[in-house]
Chain A
């Protein structure tokens, strides 16, 4: 077998062999490819979230390129003469007119605009949910911290890219968004008015902003995305995917399906499904009907202005900010703008960025991790994640306070006070509740292993007492529920010398909080129970 050259027998086989050999003669790629076609990918629904990000990005590239063929990024004045008669003869920017043209005169143009916008929303949802998956399962731990950082970068640039995207059509709604962005720039102490004048090429709105934003939206940021996504995926490839714990799954292995054919078929198929879903939304669900808003002019506004959801939490924070401004030596500092739109989001993003390093510092755990945590087994982290979600939901709710007020017959004043107070009180409560829930779930796991599953069948004991029959769970299940790290098994709990001073004390206390756990059931305990049962 060793030296015999096998020649392919089927037509496909011959074609593949031809291509592979051609490449191998020039790149020596056969060995590498052979190994990688066998690469194993673990399977879990939550691992598809990252794929959704990737595929919706590809959809954005395709649909966005289509839009560029008609979209005219210019703020030059034109008089509209197109198929949408309600705006006939209205003077407007070429950007707005060309977006109308795309929507009403280009066959499939409206569809592509809607696909592009839906794909942007799906892209952002997928990034956020993917990020939470990575967070709650501890996938960001060593050796994957770099990919966490890249992910935070993608999230940040995604928010900016989306905002710049819906600023392009220059309708009344998006112009209002740009006006607000200008006010944020202008509010930055010392350099604010300069930044605003440089960004807009003079006073707001000017005629330079949309052409500039366009360049950033279709070239600069997409190139950056492409670079970051490439590195992100190369790291996943090289480091191999994490996997959930279970029978046969160890820190030292990967269990799953090979790249070729199963994973390729599933992932490739999944791309088409994401495309299909986005196309469906684009076909039936109207989004950003810019013709209803009219062209932008600073003297008007459309009631109930709402940004896309990924900006909504910022809008909510801005809406609930106290009317605070400092007047000092002939200068004005607008805390009502700076705090909610720059300081607070800045702190949140810095916290997110450094979280993997903070957690490692607290836990003192610097080993490699390839098995994921079940969220309940790390109550502190899970509670922190739940708390952040609560914070965002409250901020987002206030971003839609006008809509909530009219739908539920509440006053905006009431919602504002509720969210102002809630922003600081609800997240800590959510933290405490989540932590407790995690610990009870751990206790439930323990009971399940030791006492088995409730069957709902009742039997009467000779003494007349009724008991419910419990059925032992499988060995596989027992393993899954007890395999996780026990605190006493941590290799190097924090060294004494690291715990001096206020920093050391803080670290020690956080370490203790981090390690709170219900001890996992052990075989010894189960045996003991078995002995005492009958």
Chain B
């Protein structure tokens, strides 16, 4: 190694090259005209927008390949607006690029750090001012202030308490009780086993006491899927088998993962699939999870028929339906 290593040096800002429009008045004139045309097009766009708003019929649809069925008026207004705005932008940029000065300029930066003296002075001033409050010497004030400030934030929290009621046992229960009739959704009529062919699926809801209106909250926890299989397809323990009726089995439709409606039934494989995250449940094995993020089977509803031959629930659900929650006692699966 001989002497010091030489590094490359900054050659400095490159020399400024003139644009055509800087030197050739014809080119400048052309650029000016281009900008003006763009701005004029914008005016045309606005006129088009207003004309479409007034004169194009609001309920005309046109089938455009790829885009599908398109409302002509909405599209015309939108295209007018596109023309009106895009051309202002293009014009302004063309103007800036071709006609405004394009000489790069240099500005110096200054370091943000202040002088040591200023910094020291500031620190001292702050120290003095804090000292003047006497907070260091008066721990009683310091502590009580800490307490007060710490507590004052509690009030808004407490005031938010009335945002909603306490959950209580709500998440543990549904409207299904022993003897509740299964009502077809949306017809709201009771259903007999014969109404359901082998391979068929139906959504049912519990019959509510007369005079109560069904809300979305009810549906959100009561929705049940009925599926009819051939009895020999089942692969259930005797208890669960006794919860079915003539090949009809009933499950909560609310996914045990995050509560979506488990709506897709595959006849051949007897699988129920939740479209949200693809948890898949095997109907023949009491909705055991065979794929996906759900951790628990869909709760099964025990069913039978009443004296009039209508399907009814034998008993309430034995476990809470739907997604998990902290208070959920999972003794029974």
Closest 10 A-B residue pairs measured CB to CB? Answer: A283-B78, A276-B86, A269-B92, A272-B89, A248-B13, A273-B89, A298-B220, A183-B258, A325-B295, A265-B96
- Max chain A Cβ within 10 angstroms of own Cβ: one of B160, B167, B289: B167
Say whether B104 faces chain A, with CB atoms less than 8 Å apart: yes
Interface residues of A in 24-67 (CB under 8 A from B): 38-40
Which B residues touch A186, using CB under 8 A? 171, 323-325
Which A residues touch B167, using CB under 8 A? 193-194, 196-197
| Residue contact B100 to A262, C-beta cutoff 8 Å | yes
The segment from B126-134, B147-155, B243-251, B273-281 found at the interface with A is B273-281
The segment from B68-76, B234-242, B298-306, B307-315 found at the interface with A is B68-76
Pick from B67, B171, B276: contact of A301, CB under 8 Å: B276
| Residue contact A276 to B89, C-beta cutoff 8 Å | yes
Cα–Cα distance between A447 and B25 once the two chains are bound (Å):
44
With contacts A248-B11, A331-B328 known, what are 6 further pairs, Cβ within 8 A? A204-B259, A256-B105, A302-B275, A303-B275, A330-B327, A332-B324
| Residue contact A255 to B6, C-beta cutoff 8 Å | no
- Max chain A Cβ within 10 angstroms of own Cβ: one of B67, B70, B293: B293
CB distance from A132 to the nearest CB of B (A): 25
Say whether A518 faces chain B, with CB atoms less than 8 Å apart: no
Say whether B158 faces chain A, with CB atoms less than 8 Å apart: no
Interface bits A258-301 vs B (CB < 8 Å: 1, else 0): 10011001101111111111011011111000000000111111
Pick from B67, B111, B166: contact of A194, CB under 8 Å: B166
Say whether A120 faces chain B, with CB atoms less than 8 Å apart: no
| Residue contact B216 to A283, C-beta cutoff 8 Å | no
Cα–Cα distance between A252 and B104 once the two chains are bound (Å):
16
| Residue contact A523 to B323, C-beta cutoff 8 Å | no
Interface bin, chain A: 35 or more
Say whether B156 faces chain A, with CB atoms less than 8 Å apart: no
Interface residues of A in 164-189 (CB under 8 A from B): 176, 179-180, 182-184, 186-189
| Residue contact B14 to A476, C-beta cutoff 8 Å | yes
Say whether B181 faces chain A, with CB atoms less than 8 Å apart: no
Which B residues touch A199, using CB under 8 A? 163-164
Which A residues touch B210, using CB under 8 A? none
| Residue contact B78 to A336, C-beta cutoff 8 Å | no
Interface residues of A in 209-261 (CB under 8 A from B): 239-240, 247-248, 250-258, 261
Say whether B211 faces chain A, with CB atoms less than 8 Å apart: no
Cα–Cα distance between A331 and B90 once the two chains are bound (Å):
62
Which A residues touch B206, using CB under 8 A? none
CB distance from A172 to the nearest CB of B (A): 9
Say whether B253 faces chain A, with CB atoms less than 8 Å apart: yes
Say whether A533 faces chain B, with CB atoms less than 8 Å apart: no
Cα–Cα distance between A83 and B203 once the two chains are bound (Å):
30
Q: Which residues of B contact A (CB under 8 A)?
A: 5-14, 53, 58-59, 67-68, 70-71, 73-75, 77-79, 81-93, 95-97, 100-102, 104-109, 111-113, 160-161, 163-167, 170-171, 185, 203, 205, 216-217, 219-221, 223, 253-254, 257-261, 263-264, 275-279, 289, 291-296, 322-331
| Residue contact B329 to A330, C-beta cutoff 8 Å | yes
Which B residues touch A327, using CB under 8 A? 330
Which A residues touch B275, using CB under 8 A? 301-305, 402
Pick from B10, B279, B289: contact of A483, CB under 8 Å: B10
- Max chain A Cβ within 10 angstroms of own Cβ: one of B53, B102, B105, B277: B277
CB distance from B24 to the nearest CB of A (A): 20
Which A residues touch B263, using CB under 8 A? 300-301, 303
Which B residues touch A370, using CB under 8 A? 109
Say whether A68 faces chain B, with CB atoms less than 8 Å apart: no
Say whether A475 faces chain B, with CB atoms less than 8 Å apart: yes
Which A residues touch B104, using CB under 8 A? 255-257
Residue of A nearest to B328 (CB): A332
Pick from A180, A184, A248: contact of B106, CB under 8 Å: A248
CB distance from A506 to the nearest CB of B (A): 30
| Residue contact B295 to A336, C-beta cutoff 8 Å | yes
Q: Which residues of A contact B (CB under 8 A)?
A: 38-40, 83, 105, 107-111, 114-115, 143, 176, 179-180, 182-184, 186-194, 196-206, 208, 239-240, 247-248, 250-258, 261-262, 265-266, 268-277, 279-280, 282-286, 296-305, 315, 318-325, 327, 330-334, 336-337, 340, 368, 370, 401-402, 412-413, 416, 449, 475-476, 478-479, 482-483, 520-524, 527
Which A residues touch B70, using CB under 8 A? 284, 286
CB distance from A405 to the nearest CB of B (A): 9
Pick from A184, A271, A296, A303: contact of B264, CB under 8 Å: A303
Once A266-B92, A279-B82 are accepted as A-B contacts, the answer to whether A479 and B13 lie under 8 Å apart by CB is no
Which A residues touch B14, using CB under 8 A? 247-248, 476
Sampled A-B contacts (24; CB under 8 Å): A39-B107, A107-B53, A107-B58, A111-B74, A143-B112, A187-B323, A193-B171, A193-B325, A193-B327, A204-B220, A208-B164, A252-B109, A255-B13, A255-B104, A266-B96, A275-B89, A276-B83, A299-B205, A299-B220, A305-B276, A325-B324, A337-B324, A482-B8, A522-B7
Pick from A40, A200, A322, A332: contact of B293, CB under 8 Å: A322
Which B residues touch A266, using CB under 8 A? 92-93, 96-97
Which B residues touch A193, using CB under 8 A? 167, 171, 325-327
Pick from B9, B289, B326: contact of A332, CB under 8 Å: B326
Which B residues touch A239, using CB under 8 A? 112
Once A107-B73, A179-B259, A524-B6 are accepted as A-B contacts, the answer to whether A253 and B278 lie under 8 Å apart by CB is no
